[in-house]
Chain A
Amino acid sequence: MTLVIVLKRIGMAFVTVCLATVMTFILLRLTPGNAIDGWARDYATQFGITLEEAYRRIAAMINYNPNEPLHEQFIRYISGLLQGNLGVSMVYQQITVNSIIANAMPWTIFVATISLLISFVIGMLLGVRMAWKRNSILEPSVSLFTVITSAIPDFIFAILLLVVFAYGLDWFPVNGAYDPFVTPGFNIDFIVSVLYYAAMPILTFVITNIGGWALMMKGNAVSILGEDYIIAAKARGISDSVIMNRYVMKNAMLPMITMLAVTFGGMLGGATLIENIFQYPGIGYFLGEATRTRDYTVMQGIMLFLSVTMIVANLIADLVYSKLDPRIKVEG
């Protein structure tokens, strides 16, 4: 891959980020104006200042002043963004959007990474075995499992797990990210507690993702089994397990690596419902909370953040793919 193509891809990603920024800007301007009017009135009575003064302070806080002409609003918004400032929450005025994202993000990334790894590894092993032994019971049972798990939305699985394991059997906690009586830090108690509280969100993702990975892996593996070098390896008397693990698995995995990055980007945004059902304090939970309370600045900040994450994930997937597989020629 030449430098020109890499630069072109990065340029495209940059354009998309810019457009996404404009889009979130427009979305906030579409919001009913009374959200800010109401806030300004409250603010004025709360601090005993005039309405104009309140507007001015709010404008400084959230980088938004509805009385300015549109282009000035845009410049104000962009200059705030360039300084890495997403404004403050409209509901909890002491909290900045940056700190909300910084606190929520680790939880979402933690759950997404672990569940992605578990489902990817299991799916891969299942897929290769399905392709290897075509007539075993494994193939139809995994297919059935995949149909069912892809038909039922993931949030339904979340509710079912919640009802059965948290409320019914009382094995797992109902909400939160760790035991409130444990001191956060690098100690065994805290780590165990975090894993224990994350178990059900992770299980939800794993159940709903395994089938897809397994089928994708099977498809890749079947086409690789027909390649000449597999037949040659068999002819050379290489054992089945070596062929399966070294020859088939490695080659069939390649196209899936890119999917890994894309899925990861999607999971960060798609976790909204699941995090809300388990009340797990990740980014999706705060997005849900912000939406319920009509906290427009938090909504805008999280949205922009998620879009940029997704664009970057796609870019990485694009670039990594061609690096991993020398047979692929990236087209400009």
Chain B
Amino acid sequence: MRGMIDFFRIICHNKRSFIGLIILVIFILMATVGPFVFKLNMTVDYNNRYLTPSFEHWLGTDFAGRDTFIQLVHGSKEVLLVGLLAAFFTLFVGALLGTISGLVGGRLDAGIMLITNLFLTIPSFPILIIMAAIFSIRDPISFALVLSAWSWPGLTRAVRSQIISLKERDFIVICKVMGMSKPHIIFKELMPSITSFLSISFIMTMRGAITGSVGIMMLGLAPYSPTNWGQMLNLAISQTGGIFNPLGFIYLFSPILCLALFQLGSIFFANGIDEALNPRLRG
């Protein structure tokens, strides 16, 4: 408990990470509480298309007379869910393989690194597009799996090098000499030292996954949810004249603004985490 309070005190102390935290909390509220407060109505209503912002429609309506703000709120749920799942899968595979590779070494290490390097040298976005086409994505979980299929190698490599540099340090060597069990060394000694690194990686992976998912949706390759920000961008660009019709600008710009804000929030927050969780940086 004390740790948590300390953590938030340090986050709040740092101006950047505090702003980041606030932005992230707003988005999380938007994604969790938002859909219950605002009911989505996707019926087409041509009499009310391209309305300007009013009390009834906070951000006006889109090309088919549907409320832009409510679509944005429901979209945030989709976007964040995919990002969160992808970051979770990536972190799980990356941390597991990286730790094994770094601790065991030898042939296993060489094998894992060969596969990792292979994945790293294949251009990731083109292959994401192709996989999105082959596995015709229909739900957030499969989308997240496809996204994380190409983001784990970078993390694996980073975790491996962290583990390798840690395992030669004095305190680990002493643990070994004292005859402590392997699980104890891994979970009680090694893991706490890379927690800060892993949490930053989690946020950054989530950020990357969200960019990737919005990009794929913008190309119209995973059209399973009409309110996802990427799908909104796709509709704004290809279908409705959101880019050449000034009336559609709000519909086009609101997902862009949300995406940019979310990315900024993640970066700012990640900045502070390192300070909060890495004792060596606090000085």
Contacts and interface: CB of A to CB of B under 8 A. Distances in A.
A237 B129 CA distance: 58
A167 B129 contact: no
Contacts of A75: none
Contact of B126 (A23, A31, A303): A303
> Is chain B's interface secondary structure helix, strand, loop, or mixed overall?
helix
Interface string B185-196: 000000000000
A314 B121 contact: yes
A150 B263 CA distance: 9
A269 interface: yes
A20 interface: yes
Interface string A149-178: 011110110011011000100000000000
Interface stretch (A65-73, A183-191, A284-292): A284-292
Given A20-B121, A151-B263, A273 B215 contact: yes
A160 B122 contact: no
Contacts of A292: 219-221
Contact of A273 (B124, B125, B259): B125
B233 interface: yes
B133 A299 contact: yes
A222 to B, nearest CB: 19
Given A159-B233, A272-B126, A287-B129, A20 B118 contact: yes
Interface string A1-37: 0000000000000011001100100010011100000
Contacts of A20: 118, 121-122
- Number of contact residues on A: which range applies? 35 or more
Interface in B187-232: 211, 214-215, 218-221
B123 A268 contact: yes
A106 interface: no
B126 A284 contact: yes
B122 A270 contact: no
A269 B125 contact: yes
Interface in B124-138: 124-127, 129-134
Nearest to B265: A151
A114 B237 CA distance: 27
Contacts of A272: 125-126, 129
Contacts of B134: 27, 30-32
B267 interface: yes
Q: What is the interface residue range for chain B against chain A?
A: 35 or more
Interface string A240-282: 0000000000000000000000000110111011001100000
Contact of B219 (A160, A276, A302, A310): A276
B133 A291 contact: yes
Interface string B255-267: 0100110011011
B243 interface: yes
Nearest to B255: A156
A272 B126 CA distance: 7
Q: Which 8 residue pairs spanning A and B have beta carbons closest together? A: A269-B123, A151-B263, A151-B264, A153-B211, A291-B133, A152-B260, A167-B244, A307-B122
Given A20-B121, A163-B243, A266-B123, 17 more contacts: A147-B264, A151-B260, A152-B260, A153-B263, A163-B249, A167-B243, A269-B125, A270-B123, A272-B125, A272-B126, A273-B125, A273-B219, A288-B129, A291-B219, A310-B122, A310-B123, A311-B121
Interface of B: 114, 117-118, 121-127, 129-134, 211, 214-215, 218-221, 233, 237, 243-244, 249, 252, 256, 259-260, 263-264, 266-267
9 contacts: A16-B121, A32-B134, A153-B259, A265-B123, A273-B218, A291-B130, A302-B126, A303-B127, A310-B123
